[in-house]
Structure 1
């Protein structure tokens, strides 16, 4: 699996290597074509290539060319002892979404006598279908707490996306927008950064504020 993942990562890095410098070449980067890289499948790992993170987690208003969801996770299981695991999941929207893959491939056992604290850092918020499934799971699993930090809001102008986010909130999910501290944490925890420090892009803070305001508006709607 590791060899397979490495080959796939190397292949995609060649396509996304310019993602690090979107300023100056942003138009070219935004129009990256991923079709020739298929077939896509769900991939899990501990650390992703830095080019993936810089491109996929960039909090632009419209996610042109970003056809995947990256989900970085931390699971803390508390019982007689405390256990912690972390890693990431990536998907292709044409297949199994990363949110679903987390529950089928990563968080496969949930002991009702234990409590679980799960944190996700996702490149975009869950789609309406995934949001409904997650909300249903949380409602039936009171021993599981989920916090989702989102780089972008997926289809934030659509009513069904609004409904999905409100369903998550009603089920007890904590919804947050990623800011500089979360980006820095993910960079150091989930990215193969080769010792390089995280450098925020120019409009990271402004975009975070934009999405935070949109999220607040959506969650306050009746």
Structure 2
């Protein structure tokens, strides 16, 4: 029997406000938040307007027999949606958790395959930032040319406006930026 592999699937258009408020705050320790959300935007160099197929949200899929992290869902979807290597793409991710070492490795391999693509990752939280393997994964992404940063208030507001089904509710900071400065300093230390 062939092993299970992630297959392309359609991203969600938007996430629920409660889901966003629960999964996206910059918390040092975020217990109970086992899901990872990836809000993405794909821009082509030819035109910088985004249509429905150029943005969306992925959430990790967890199966008893295999997992597909949100990053893997995006990579699989992108390969299916954009098979051509002759166009230039700017891709931006807003993640609730930074990539794990396996996903970091797969993203680096993906960038070697798609040399016509730049990737910026803005993450709310650092996943196991004290573990050397996770730090090494972030350094590999950085060395591959990925822009890495902790989400700022402007990033949260951008996500709220573009990826949350807010039904006209205005963005409020709530407590989204609890540990932003600490996480930003940790990330800079890791990337040195």
TM-score by length of 1: 0.75
Q: How many residues align?
A: 177
Please list every run of 5 or more consecutive structure 1 residues that lacks an aligned counterpart in the other structure. 1-41
Are residues 54 and 206 of structure 1, via their aligned partners in 2, closer, same or farther at CA, if it must alter by over 3 Å? closer
Root-mean-square deviation (CA, aligned residues, Å) is 1.7
1-structure distance, mates of 2:171, 2:48:
30
Structure ranking higher in helix proportion = 1
TM-score by length of 2: 0.86
Alignment partner of 1:48: what SS? coil
2-structure distance, mates of 1:169, 1:106:
21
Larger radius of gyration: 1
Q: Give CA deviations for 1:29-72 in whole Å, capped at 9, x if unaligned.
A: xxxxxxxxxxxxx8721111111100010111112101111000
Please list every run of 5 or more consecutive structure 2 residues that lacks an aligned counterpart in the other structure. 1-8
1:90 equivalent in alignment to 2:52: no
Are residues 158 and 43 of structure 1, via their aligned partners in 2, closer, same or farther at CA, if it must alter by over 3 Å? farther
1-structure distance, mates of 2:98, 2:124:
8
Are residues 82 and 195 of structure 1, via their aligned partners in 2, closer, same or farther at CA, if it must alter by over 3 Å? closer
Q: What residue is the counterpart of 1:177 in the other structure?
A: 150
Which structure has the higher relative contact order (CA within 8 Å, separation 6+)?
2
Q: What residue is the counterpart of 1:61 in the other structure?
A: 28
1:52 equivalent in alignment to 2:19: yes
